[in-house]
Amino acid sequence: MDFKLSEREELLRKTVREFAEREIAPRMEAMEETGEFPVDLLKKMGEIGILGVITPPEYGGVGLGNLARIIILEELGRVCPAIPMALQVHHMATHALSAFANEEQKRKYLPPLAKGETMGVVAVTEPSGGSDVAGMKTSARLEGDRYILNGRKCFITNAHASDIWVVIARTGEGGKGLSAFIVERGFPGAKLGRKENKVGLRGAITGELVFQNCEVPKANLLGHEGDGMNIAIRNIVETGRPGMASVALGILNAVLEQAVKFANERILYGKPISSLQMIQSHLADIYADLEISRLLVYRVGWMRDQNIRCDAESALAKQFSCEAAARSARKAIEIHGSYGILREYPVQRLLRDALVTIPAGGTAEVARLVMARQALSLVK
């Protein structure tokens, strides 16, 4: 075992941190205000390699792997969690394509996604719910050389900012009757629905994708008919949950920094409040949440890079770190006292951001189901 990051990983962290502090931090005010994603940053992030981090080099990416991706998302999240929220879904789209697309589809769609010329989404969730994949209603009917899609996808991150949609739709009955499609925003019948107004992660767009007799060329079927369920689940387990966990990990970094900074600056009874044991106890809890989350999330990245199955580990990392982020943000607000509820102080935003990470990519309850299944299988 080795817990030391390599020189490469340290350098990645450094360069992303610098980018985030210099380019993203000045944009946050506007993101909070409007909820809009700063699409003009995509190109720069593409040039650095942030968008193509898990895309193989032969398709325009840098192919640095999953641990690298986690470090990048963590660093971005430390400065502005909405950005890695959007990017992690973008990465999900690149993962779905790298893992399941045919050669022609990869050549066509991956390089622009890796370079930041296009933005991707994966659309699974419907008004009926996201985790009940088998209960999905959006339909895809083969007519000649094209599929006709009808239905509605909701809570889709990046919806209104995106160009390439990986959409799961029903081509037959039951769990085996789901298929995945690559839908371009410009296809006939592909429409944008409502845009949600979230309390946190403002700047990562959440909205609806609507399909009204949407015409998708047969060549845009991802994998085979019936692969939809597998694609959706592999995608969420291998990329979506570790991605959400990384966003939460980024938030935890920021929470600890803000809490310590305030505790050192705030003078009460003639001393900084960081010298008070009650405050120190809060700080210790936040520190523990950060460190445990980091171990859990990095482990998933490492397992993915070794090609080890990690369904339960991924669910655990997601559930623990997202809940830890919310829990720690609340503690940080308590350390701040009345200052904690002022808009000037970032801790209130961090709590709002953390709350949004909890249902995204599978609720804590769904994650616990996966973990329980694993627990039950350990002892016969």
Partner 1 sequence: MKGEVWVYAESTERVLHEVSLEILSKGREIADSLGGSLSAVLVGRDLMDVAKELVSFGTDQVYWLEPPDSNFYPGVHVVEALTELVKEHDPDILLLGATSVGAELAPKLAARLKTGLSAHCNDLKIDEQGHLLQVVPAFGGGVLATIVCPEKRPQMATISPGVMKIRRNESRNGKILRREMPLNGKSRVKVLDSVKEERMEVSLEKAEIVIAGGWGVGNKENWQMLEDLAKLLGGAVGATRPPVDEGWAREYQMIGQSGKTVRPTLYMGFGISGMMHHMVGIQDSEFIIAVNTDPEAEIFKMCDFGVVGDLKEILPCLIQEIKKGRSEREGF
Partner 2 sequence: MRIIVCVKPVPDPRHWNRMSLHPTLKVLVREGIPNVVNPLDRHALEEALRIRERYGGEVMILSMAPLFSLSILREALAMGADRAVLLSDKAFAGSDTLATSHILSEAVKRIGPFDLILCGNQTIDGWTGHVGPQLSEFLGIEGISFVKMIEGFHFEEDGTAKAIVRKKTEGGYVRIEARLPLLLSVVKEINTPRYVTFSGILEAERKEIQVMSASDLRIDPSQVGLAGSPTKMADLFMPEVKRRREVVQEKPEMASKLIFEKIRQRGLI
Binding site for partner 2 (CB under 8 A): 7-8, 10-12, 14-15, 18-19, 44, 47-50, 53, 62, 64, 68
- In the bound state with partner 1, the residue whose beta carbon lies nearer, of 5 and 260, is 260
Cα–Cα dist 193/235, whole Å: 24
Coil, helix or strand at residue 92: helix
Task: Give me the 51-70 binding string for partner 1, x by CB under 8 A, dash otherwise.
Answer: --------------------
Cα–Cα dist 298/319, whole Å: 14
Cα–Cα dist 124/122, whole Å: 6
Cα–Cα dist 95/78, whole Å: 24
How far apart are CB 204 and partner 2 at their closest, in Å? 22
Tell me which DSSP letter residue 346 carries: T
- Which of residues 199, 268, 278, 342 is near partner 1 by CB under 8 A? 342
Tell me which DSSP letter residue 309 carries: -
- Which of residues 266, 274, 285, 334 is near partner 1 by CB under 8 A? 266
Cross-strand partners of 140: 149
- Which of residues 265, 309, 372, 373 is near partner 1 by CB under 8 A? 265
Kindly state the tokens that stand for 7: 């020189």
Kindly state the tokens that stand for 15: 């360069």
29 touches, from partner 2, partner 1, none (C-beta below 5 to 8 Å by class): partner 1
58 touches, from partner 2, partner 1, none (C-beta below 5 to 8 Å by class): none
φ/ψ bin of 189: left (φ > 0), alpha (ψ from -120 to 50), beta (otherwise): left
266 touches, from partner 1, partner 2, none (C-beta below 5 to 8 Å by class): partner 1
Q: Can residue 143 be called a binding residue for partner 1 (CB under 8 A)?
A: no
Residue 224's alpha-carbon distances to 177, 178, 295, in angstroms, are: 11, 10, 37
Length in residues, the chain: 380
Q: What are phi and psi of 235, to 5 degrees?
A: -65, -45
Q: What are phi and psi of 297, to 5 degrees?
A: -75, -45
Part in contact with partner 1 (CB under 8 A); list of ranges 157-165, 301-309, 340-348, 363-371: 340-348
67 touches, from partner 1, partner 2, none (C-beta below 5 to 8 Å by class): none
Residues 294-323 interacting with partner 1 (rule: CB under 8 A): none
Q: Can residue 29 be called a binding residue for partner 1 (CB under 8 A)?
A: yes
- Which of residues 103, 104, 343, 377 is near partner 1 by CB under 8 A? 343
- Which of residues 17, 311, 345, 368 is near partner 1 by CB under 8 A? 345
Q: Is the CB of residue 227 less than 8 Å from the CB of residue 180?
A: yes
Tell which residue, 213, 222, 212, has the closest CA to residue 164. 222
Cα–Cα dist 302/18, whole Å: 24
145 touches, from partner 2, partner 1, none (C-beta below 5 to 8 Å by class): none
How far apart are CB 69 and partner 2 at their closest, in Å? 11
287 touches, from partner 2, partner 1, none (C-beta below 5 to 8 Å by class): none
* Residues within the interface to partner 1 (CB under 8 A): 29, 265-266, 339, 342-346
